[in-house]
Structure 1
Amino acid sequence: MTTTITTPATPTPPGDARSGDNLADRHERATLAVARRRSAELESEIARDPGAFRVLTGDRPTGALHLGHLLATLDSRVRLQDAGVEVVLVIADYQVITDRDETGDLPAVVREVVLDYLAAGIDPARTTIFTHSAVPALNQLLLPFLSLVTVGELERNPTVKAEAVDAARRQGRDMSGLLFTYPVHQAADILFCHGDVVPVGADQLPHLEATRTVARRFNQRYAAARPYFREPDALLTPSLTVLGNDGAKMSKSRGNALELRATEDETVRYFRRARTDSERHITYEPETRPDVANLLRIGARFAGTTPAELAESVGAAGAGRLKQVVTEAVVEGLRPLRERRRDLAADAPAVVGDVLARGNAHANAVADRTLADVRELMGTVY
């Protein structure tokens, strides 16, 4: 079910620096173009035969999920699940310690994340929800997989480089070895269950390419006659970057996020503080009016319209009216989710415990089989 992503070579004339154009830029654009074409093909194939695919995705449990998670990832996961695709959701608790010394109250955060999943429409009868630390065989795959990549390749990974800069800026420290090897750990997450589709944003393509590299090199080294791992494809879902009420990307760590579990009053206060701009007439112009465009996208998602149509309906009424319209749409749109969440939270320990017990058991069974196969192929069964 997979197609190898190959990037056509594009020659660059010596000294060509037009508009900052260079070989790396062209390579990135070409890779993204190929990924987009393949993603469109995947959508068609999933529509024809959803049961033929297995999706691996997940979250790092550093806090309860927020509006950005819902719009950027949760909606897509529920859509795939409901279409009949097998979805595997990892709560990556080991990844919490990639860039911090303490985990905080991790069990409480994991519990909140599971409640958010269930309230958003994730069905544990159809979707496997498991935690990293509960599946030893998955994490053991990291050892042979690390032998298939070089230090240079990890250092050149764009996300690893960005995280190194961020860790130094925020904490004044070098990145941890776990963060440095994160792309390979992610490969273990995907390949342990033989995931063949991974929903990602364009900025995550290098991570997925690292997984494809691990799968390809393992097959070449240990299973040349009959490849064992499939090279997963990227599903570039039509997600959006959601800004917080300070104009930066919505993030738990920035404190600018609207949690899914927030009350209606908290929602009203949140959008009252949202940034707009000095122009009174509301228009949808993402490039020149990002803060207004962000509110329009959020409001349109819950109002069942388009950002441009919502902008036209507000028009000269200004930013105050826009915030009111968006707030009302979000409050009403999130009402069913929040009601389900309150019902689930009333018996949270039992509900979450049952979901994770079933999910972890299934993930362990799959990971044990994969690790046994890997050891057999590597000749390390004694």
Structure 2
Amino acid sequence: MTTISPANPNGDESTTYAAALERSTVLDSLIDDSASADPQRFRMLTGDRPTGPLHIGHYLASLRNRVRLQNKGVETFVVIADYQVVTDRDSVGDLGENVYGLVLDYLAAGLDPERTTIFTHSAVPALNQLMLPFLSLVTDAELRRNPTVKDELALSGSRPLSGLLLTYPVHQAADLLFCHSRIVPVGRDQLPHLELTRSIARRFNTRYAAGQSVFAEPEALLGDVPLLLGTDGTKMAKSKGNVVNLRDSADETARRIRAARTDSERRITFDPVGRPEVANLLTVAGLFLGESPESVAEQVGNGGAAALKTTVVEAINEGLAGHRSRRAELARDRAAVTAVLHEGNARANEVAQRTLATVRAVMGMAY
């Protein structure tokens, strides 16, 4: 399998992205073309931090794609990264309910626990043990220049950099490599994380496995959903409260969208540079309707912000009606939802223990 070139932190980032995008297109074609490829040879890991409810950004950019790939036959692992909740905060918050809510949304969206392994960090000790040898393969400088580490530190204000936040990219590498994930759905901003994981895989094979391929280098599957803004015009984020949650009612959705920022121009046009808030609402509506934002803009026309927001509310509520109905039904049987997580944890543990046994063996630690 052809691989993309490793990222050069001092080189041309756009060139790295172009190479990743080209390879991602090839991978997507291989998965889609069942006549020429067996999708089961691919394995995918993705996941979420349980810091709060999932919102429409997660649904549009990630959840729908996970279900698509699962249904194409890709073996799928979804990690609920509960240990990562405390990378940048002082307490775990309502962690149990947040984890439960994530599983509800996964199942409501169409993830099938028979084909997708849903598990939590904390329930898979062997996965976390991989961090120790992996940490020996990276430098302090590599970790400190990681964009996510820098961004999270900046957002945390004056709080000191925790060891867990600093080593977050290595923990993510352990997530990907414990299950031998071959494809990783990511956005452009997450490519540096993946490149560090690829470096760790190469270095482990060279330093500890005498050149054996214990770990393959996972490849990026880049999404085509643009970065979405929140209702306040800034980046959509749970922590900002500028989102429409999947669990919100139709009325709550309407209230949130009606409060969204727009502008005073009557004619609705799609202009991401000049009218970013309006363009964002058009994009959201288009993604739910399966139409281009330009087409949605033409339909709204001279209706102004009020008509635009009505269109967006209707698109979201109709698009999520089935999801919300399934979620409510699943929530009536909490024990069954919890059982899905228990079964996923058991399955992930089996995989992690096999991987850790291999690592110990090649490192001469099979006592």
Considering the TM-score relative to the shorter chain, is it more than 0.5?
A: yes
Contact 2:46 2:185 in 1 (8 A): yes
State which of 23, 31, 35 in structure 1 corresponds to 2:20: 35
Alignment pair present for 1:353 and 2:342:
no
CA–CA separation in structure 1 for the residues paired with 2:217 and 2:354: 19
CA–CA separation in structure 1 for the residues paired with 2:14 and 2:170: 24
Q: Which amino acid aligns with 1:355?
A: V
Residue 224 of structure 1 deviates from its aligned partner by: 3.1
State which of 174, 179, 187 in structure 2 corresponds to 1:201: 187
CA–CA separation in structure 2 for the residues paired with 1:156 and 1:330: 38
Alignment pair present for 1:103 and 2:92:
yes
Residue 225 of structure 1 deviates from its aligned partner by: 4.0
TM normalised by structure 2 equals 0.96
Alignment match, 2:226: 240
Alignment match, 2:59: 70
Alignment pair present for 1:370 and 2:355:
yes
Q: Cα distance 1:161–1:335, how it changes in 2: closer, same or farther (>3 A)?
A: same
Q: Which moved more, 1:239-248 or 1:103-112?
A: 239-248
Alignment match, 2:40: 51
Residue 68 of structure 1 deviates from its aligned partner by: 0.9
TM normalised by structure 1 equals 0.92
Alignment match, 1:319: 305
Alignment pair present for 1:86 and 2:71:
no
Deviation sequence 1:64-100 (CA, Å, 0-9, x none): 1111110111111111111111110000000001111
Residue 2 of structure 1 deviates from its aligned partner by: 5.5
Alignment match, 2:283: 297
CA–CA separation in structure 2 for the residues paired with 1:239 and 1:371: 36
Residue 295 of structure 1 deviates from its aligned partner by: 0.8
Alignment pair present for 1:217 and 2:206:
no
CA RMSD of aligned residues (A): 1.4
CA–CA separation in structure 2 for the residues paired with 1:199 and 1:2: 18
Alignment match, 1:19: none
CA–CA separation in structure 1 for the residues paired with 2:270 and 2:48: 31
Alignment match, 1:117: 106
CA–CA separation in structure 1 for the residues paired with 2:6 and 2:80: 31
CA–CA separation in structure 2 for the residues paired with 1:269 and 1:317: 19
Deviation sequence 1:271-319 (CA, Å, 0-9, x none): 1111111211001111211111111111112223211111011111111
Alignment pair present for 1:334 and 2:334:
no
Residue ranges of structure 1 left out of the alignment (5+ in a row): 10-22
State which of 139, 164, 185 in structure 1 corresponds to 2:171: 185
Equivalent residues in 2 for 1:244-259, closer than 5 Å: 244-259=230-245
Q: Which amino acid aligns with 1:362?
A: R
Q: Which amino acid aligns with 1:153?
A: E
State which of 114, 122, 128 in structure 2 corresponds to 1:139: 128
Q: Secondary structure at the match of 2:12?
A: helix
Q: Secondary structure at the match of 1:253?
A: helix
Contact 1:71 1:240 in 2 (8 A): no
Residue ranges of structure 2 left out of the alignment (5+ in a row): none
State which of 116, 119, 140 in structure 2 corresponds to 1:151: 140
